[in-house]
């Protein structure tokens, strides 16, 4: 077990290194550059000075090793887009927003998706099942950039109940619409996975045995089915959580939220390599950790995995 | 099943009713109502500023915030474009040739930390922006000063040779390389603003590109407001600066700038009472707003032009007759009426500003266009190459499609539209690796040079491969004249030359479409859209 954990740790380091290298060279392959994309062109003699200031005039391999060294020291350097601001400062402002949004969205997804999936499986081929799965399909099919503006328009503009944009850490009402928008699609996936997992468990022999022994419905559901039935959903939750944190660009745009996604997109637009690399490495680390935790949770839920 | 539904439904309905009651009870005053009470203006500002050190930026978004924090020698008037009320300078005079100017600074002028604003702060600022080691991206805006360009390009090392001098603490002397009758209005551009020498030097050397002087809590300005909050992609808040020389006239207690990139989100925020004004309004919402909320919609002329940039080094496009034929088949009236809502059909490149009105050179004449194209060897479009037109902004797509259809209909030629990300779009033009590009230009100040100087050889914004010594001579001759009538006559001649050659095909003069709440007073149409924040008040 310990050897497995250590192995996973070194695998993670290797993945991060490859991720860094590939991202760095992809950025360098982008046309333009942070100081070549200004709306009003910066005169050449000035642009060359600015590029020299940031070391962008040096050979690519020198830039690569400098950037790698900076990251190993935990400091990706200065942003080229928000000139003079440290990447760590940008991430430390934006990450809590993305994290809080991700947690709220995931809570909604779990609270809605799992019960919906369980009910659908328990009442298989009934109106409840069809309704729950139809809802899930709608949630999967309608993208966030459609649901978000609809919710904002209805609850923000027409009813004036919740803010149509913005993010106030001290005002939870400002979290509701973005978290619901982001959480709904994940809830839809979760409900379908939960239903599939539960259906498989419900067809197992030990469930039939439990029924024959006269175990009550609720007890059977909670004690015998849920743990095994949730395995596919749990396997999905880890990467989905990392994805929710990193992939909320649309939500951030629709609700004008100061999260990491907006920094990421803007940095890519102008080739702001320190910010791109800082965020990519953060996302990479999160996904590796999330996958690792998911595996641990899967081991706890599934005794067969522990034995193997 | 039915039994279960009967038992569950009432409970669900009860819970939904309770939730609705709770949400209903949450209905509170809107953000705008609260801001009205507190005297805070809520402004949509499109994007996150690159920086608030005004010597490091080149954009419009930054200028909105910077003009609340800093003030130039001359202030902006809230209602008239050409008025020049006193700013950091209380008065000024010039010699007959308009090449030497003396500005007398406000004796009461103070930085927000209470230190006096002196002529040395201006000299320091201009030295910093022009210094080659600092590499200010917009240093060329100071090239009007004698020897400024040579100093910036490292040809002279002694800054004392540059035409700026502090005669005493409150007297600033500027010597210009040519007559600049519009200097007072030019100094309203943020590149001419001072920087607090004592604060900049506290956090580093003059030529250090980035120090902590321009971030919270260190930023010190001489404008009507001071910086109090800055959260990336969230908002920037400024508060009334009681050390501002004209503080008693400032009506607002503060301004909050929201960098909302998505114009639809911004519009929703405005309509749900979260903003006093938006930065823009998506063109497809203009008609709806005109119909439903005409009192909130503002459509005002703006000193900008949209055009198609042509790469004149490409075969066929190198022939002026071909470019003229392309221009003559653009039905600008139709484009402005049906697509570019609120924009005005362009008659030339420079929009009307003050008494300068260029000669109308653009017309819609398909017959003449076909004849010109045939003369160039492409009768009925036969043998004409298939070119691509680059588009970087989604808003330009519809007009580009209309233009594509017009050329196809009237000249029987094909043009492909190519969407590009901004970096690739700029890069393709700078390296002349394109055929045509949908583009635009916003003037920095109210003088035709802001539109005409860029089409000179080697200018970084030209990107057409076109240049004409005669055109450049006319610009140089105009620059040496101090009489506005003579200057403008030469500019008109130069612009006519440009429009005959047509390295660019102007389409429309820009219009600012945005939303503004009626309680915002002191906000009048201005060509540069630089509304002086100190004149704005809230009267709910």
Could you identify the residue written with the tokens 């609120």?
B342
pLDDT (0 to 100) of residue A232: 87
Q: Is B424 on the interface with A (CB under 8 A)?
A: yes
Q: How many domains does chain B have?
A: 1
What residues of chain A lie within 8 A of the CB of B430, using their CB? 36, 41
Contacts of A64 (CB under 8 A, 6+ apart): A21, A24, A25
Would residue B293 count as lying in a domain?
no
Cα separation, B201 vs B207, whole angstroms: 10
Q: What is the pLDDT of residue A8?
A: 84
Q: Which residues of A touch B140 (CB under 8 A)?
A: 43
What is the rounded CA–CA span in Å between residue B500 and residue B494? Answer: 10
Is B452 a member of any domain?
yes
* pLDDT 10s digits, B324-348: 999 999 999 999 999 988 899 999 9
pLDDT at A148 over 60: yes
**Could you report the per-residue pLDDT of A203-233, keeping only the tens digit for each?**
889 888 988 888 888 888 888 888 888 888 8
State chain B's mean pLDDT as an integer. Answer: 92
CATH number at residue B499: 3.10.105.10
| CA dist., res. A38 & res. A55, Å (int) | 19
Q: Do A164 and B231 touch (CB under 8 A)?
A: no
User: CB–CB of B460 and A44 under 8 A?
Assistant: yes
In a domain, B211, yes or no: no
Question: Does residue B362 form part of some domain?
Answer: yes
Per-residue model confidence as pLDDT tens digits over B354-403: 889 999 999 999 999 999 999 999 999 999 999 999 999 888 899 999 99
- Has residue A105 got a pLDDT over 70? yes
The answer to whether B172 touches B89, Cβ cutoff 8 Å, is yes
Instruction: Say whether B108 sits in a helix, a strand or coil.
Output: coil
What local confidence, expressed as pLDDT, does residue A247 receive? 61
B67 near B224, Cβ under 8 Å? no
Report the half-sphere exposure of B280 (CA within 13 A, side-chain side).
20
Check residue B191 and report its DSSP letter.
G
pLDDT average, residue stretch B14-24? 51
Cβ-based neighbours of B157, under 8 Å, separated by 6 or more:
B151
Minimal Cβ distance to A258: which of B56, B138, B234: B234
| Host domain of residue B331 | 301-512
- Whether residue B485 is contained in a domain is answered as yes
Angle between helix A87-122 and helix A231-246 axes, rounded to 10 deg: 150
Q: pLDDT of A47-77, one tens digit each? A: 888 888 888 899 999 999 999 999 888 888 8
Taking the model in full, what pTM does it have?
0.89
As a residue count, chain B comes to 540
Query: Is the predicted ipTM greater than 0.90, yes or no?
Result: no
Cα–Cα dist B286/B513, whole Å: 8
Interface contact B62, partner A, CB < 8 A = no
Question: Read out DSSP for B59-90?
Answer: -HHHHHHHHHH---SBPPPSS-SS---BSSEE
From the list B294, B403, B308, the residue with the least C-alpha distance to B349 is B308
pLDDT in tens, B211-224: 899 999 999 999 99
B491 falls within a domain: yes
What per-residue confidence (pLDDT) applies to A307? 66
SS3 call for B117: coil
Q: Determine the straight-line distance between the first and last CA of chain B, rounded to whole angstroms.
A: 57
DSSP-assigned states of every residue in B371-426: HHHHHTT-GGGTT---EEEEE-SGGGHHHHHHHHHHHHHHH---EEEEE--HHHHH
Strand partners for B225: B240
- Cα–Cα distance between A89 and A97 in angstroms, integer? 13
Say what the pLDDT of residue B314 is. Answer: 95
Q: What is the distance between the alpha carbons of residues B40 and B50, in angstroms, rounded to a whole number?
A: 24
What number of other Cβ atoms are within 10 A of residue A116's Cβ?
25
| Percent of all residues in chain B with a pLDDT value above 90, rounded to a whole number | 86
pLDDT in tens, B443-496: 989 999 999 999 999 888 999 999 999 999 999 999 999 898 999 999 999 999
Q: Which residue has the tokens 């109090």?
A: B228
Chain B nearest C-alpha distance from A171 (Å): 12
B191: closest CA of chain A, how far (Å): 14
Distance CA(B39)–CA(B34), nearest Å, equals 9
pLDDT score recorded for residue A308 = 59
Shortest distance between the Cα of A218 and any Cα of chain B, in A, equals 15
């Amino acid at each position: 077990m310990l050897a497995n954990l250590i192995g996973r740790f070194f695998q993670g380091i290797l993945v991060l290194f490859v991720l860094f290298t590939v991202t760095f060279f992809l950025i360098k392959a982008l046309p333009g550059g942070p100081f070549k994309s200004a709306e009003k062109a910066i005169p050449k003699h000035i642009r060359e000075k600015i590029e020299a200031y940031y070391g962008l005039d040096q050979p690519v391999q020198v830039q690569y090793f400098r950037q790698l060294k900076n990251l190993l020291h935990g400091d990706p350097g200065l942003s080229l887009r928000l000139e003079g601001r440290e990447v760590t400062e940008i991430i430390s402002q934006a990450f809590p927003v993305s994290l809080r949004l991700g947690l709220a969205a995931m809570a909604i997804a779990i609270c809605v998706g799992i019960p919906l999936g369980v009910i659908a499986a328990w009442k298989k081929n009934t109106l409840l099942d069809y309704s729950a799965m139809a809802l899930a399909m709608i949630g999967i099919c309608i993208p966030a950039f459609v649901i978000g503006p609809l919710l904002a328009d209805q609850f923000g503009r027409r009813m004036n109940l919740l803010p149509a944009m913005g993010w106030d850490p001290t005002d939870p009402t400002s979290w509701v619409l973005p978290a619901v928008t982001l959480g709904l699609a994940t809830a839809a996936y979760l409900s379908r996975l939960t239903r599939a997992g539960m259906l498989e468990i419900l067809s197992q022999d030990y469930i039939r045995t439990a029924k024959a022994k006269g175990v009550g419905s609720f007890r059977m559901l909670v004690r015998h089915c849920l743990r095994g039935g949730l395995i596919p959903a749990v396997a999905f939750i880890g990467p989905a959580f990392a994805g929710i944190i990193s992939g909320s660009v649309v939500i951030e745009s629709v609700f004008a939220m100061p999260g990491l996604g907006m920094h990421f997109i803007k940095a890519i637009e102008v080739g702001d390599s320190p910010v791109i690399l800082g965020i990519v490495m953060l996302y990479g680390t999160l996904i590796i950790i999330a996958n690792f935790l998911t595996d641990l949770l899967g081991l706890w839920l599934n005794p067969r995995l522990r034995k193997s | 099943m039915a039994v279960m539904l009967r038992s569950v439904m009432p409970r669900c309905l009860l819970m939904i009713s309770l939730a609705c009651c709770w949400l209903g009870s949450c209905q509170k005053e809107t953000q705008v109502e609260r801001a009205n009470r507190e005297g805070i203006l809520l402004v949509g500002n499109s994007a996150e500023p690159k920086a608030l050190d005004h010597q490091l930026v080149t954009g419009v978004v930054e200028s909105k915030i910077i003009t609340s924090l800093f003030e130039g020698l001359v202030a902006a008037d809230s209602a008239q474009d050409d008025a020049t009320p006193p700013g950091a300078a209380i008065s000024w005079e010039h010699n007959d040739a308009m090449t030497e100017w003396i500005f007398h600074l406000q004796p009461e002028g103070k930085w927000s930390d209470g230190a006096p604003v002196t002529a040395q702060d201006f000299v320091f600022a201009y030295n910093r922006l022009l210094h080659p080691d600092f590499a200010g991206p917009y240093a060329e805006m100071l090239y009007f000063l004698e020897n400024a360009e040579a100093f910036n390009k490292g040809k002279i090392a002694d800054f004392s040779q540059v035409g700026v001098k502090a005669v005493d603490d409150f007297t600033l002397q500027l010597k210009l390389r040519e007559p600049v009758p519009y200097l007072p209005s030019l100094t309203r551009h943020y590149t001419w603003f001072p920087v607090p020498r004592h604060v900049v030097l506290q956090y580093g050397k003059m030529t250090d590109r980035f120090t902590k002087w321009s971030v919270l809590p260190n930023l010190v300005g001489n404008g009507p407001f001071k910086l109090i909050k800055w959260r990336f992609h969230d908002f920037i808040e400024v508060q009334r600066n009681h050390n501002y020389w004209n503080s008693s006239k400032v009506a607002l207690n503060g301004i909050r700038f929201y960098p909302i990139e998505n114009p639809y989100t911004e519009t929703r925020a405005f309509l749900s009472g979260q903003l006093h004004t938006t930065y823009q309004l998506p063109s497809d919402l203009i008609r709806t707003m005109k119909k439903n909320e005409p009192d909130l919609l503002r459509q005002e002329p703006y000193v900008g032009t949209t055009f198609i940039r042509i790469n004149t080094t490409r075969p066929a496009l190198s022939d002026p007759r071909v470019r003229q034929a392309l221009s003559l088949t653009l039905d600008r009236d139709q484009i402005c009426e049906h697509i570019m809502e609120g924009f005005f059909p362009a008659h030339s490149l420079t929009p009307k500003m003050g008494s300068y009105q260029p000669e109308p050179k653009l017309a819609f004449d398909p017959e003449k266009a076909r004849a010109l194209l045939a003369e160039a060897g492409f009768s009925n479009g036969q043998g004409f190459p298939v070119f691509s037109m680059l588009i970087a902004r989604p808003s330009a797509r519809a007009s580009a499609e209309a233009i594509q259809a017009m050329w196809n209909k009237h000249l029987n030629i094909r043009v492909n539209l190519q969407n590009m990300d901004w970096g690739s779009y700029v890069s393709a033009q700078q390296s002349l690796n394109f055929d045509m590009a949908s583009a635009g230009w916003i003037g920095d100040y109210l003088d035709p040079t802001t539109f005409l100087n860029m089409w000179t050889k080697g200018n970084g914004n030209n990107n057409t491969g076109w240049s004409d010594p005669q055109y450049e001579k006319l610009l140089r001759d105009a620059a040496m004249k101090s009489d506005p009538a003579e200057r403008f006559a030469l500019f008109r001649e130069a612009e006519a030359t440009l429009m005959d050659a047509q390295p660019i095909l102007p389409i429309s003069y820009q219009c600012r479409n945005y939303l503004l709440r009626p309680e915002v007073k002191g906000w009048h149409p201005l060509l540069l859209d630089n509304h002086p924040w100190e004149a704005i008040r809230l009267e709910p």
